[in-house]
Structure 1
Amino acid sequence: MPGHRHAEYCGASSLELIKNYPDRIGYLHLKQINPDVLKKVNEENMTWAAANLAGVMTEPPNGLPDLRAVIEAVEGLNRPIFGIVEQDMYPVAFDVPMPIAKRTRNYLLSCGSRTTVN
C-alpha cells in the first residue's frame, strides 16, 4: 500500500483504503502530516519541497492519519503486515532524529496488541 501520508496528503482516507482494498496491502509505510500546515500548503499551492520545509510532516501522534486506527484496521486483516516508519525532515540537525525515533517507537508500541518494533 502506498504511504499513508500520500493518501492523507491528497485528501484520501487511509482507513477507507484499508477497508476497500485489504488484499492490496503488503506492507505499511507510516508517516503523519500536520493538518494545519497541510491547509496552508494547499491554500498557497506549495511544492513538496516547500511543504516539507514548512513542516507538513510531523512525528506521531501529532498528525494524520490516526496511526492507532490504521494499526487496528490492519490488525483486523488477521495476517502479519510489515511496516516502516519515516518522517521527512530536511535539512535537519544531526541530533534531532534520534529523540523523535525513540518517541515514535514508544508510541507505536502502545498502538496495537500485536505491534512489535525491531
Structure 2
Amino acid sequence: MVDDASGVPGWALVVILAVQVALGVALFLTARLGASGRLRRNPYFGLRTPRSLADDAAWDHVHRKAAPVVRVAFAVVVVGTAVLVVTTGDMALFITTLLTTDVLAVVVLLVAVWIGHRDLPRG
C-alpha cells in the first residue's frame, strides 16, 4: 500500500476497497437470488420501489427481469475495483476511477430498475 504524499493512504485504500467489495457482493447476490426467484421482499436488500414492493409477484417479476443488467453493474464494480488497485500511486486517477466506477454502476442499476418495471402491470 502506498503511504507517500502523492498516493492513496493505506488506511483509505483498505476502507475503499472493503466498501467496493461489499457493493460487488450485494450486486452479485441481488442478481443471483433475483434471477432464481429466491430473493424475498425485505426491508434492506434488492430493487426496492413502491411498485416492486406491492406484492410478491411484482417483486419476483422486477428482480427476474432486472437480473441480467444487475450482473452488468456487478461486472462494472469488479473491473473498476481491479483498476483501483493499480492506480493507488496517483490520487487523482484513483479518485476519478472510483467515481467513474460507482456512477456507472448506479446508471446501470437505474437501467435495471427500468427494465424490471417496464412491463410490470400498474395497479
Does the TM-score normalized on the shorter chain lie above 0.5? no
Larger radius of gyration: 2
More strand by share: 1
More helix by share: 2
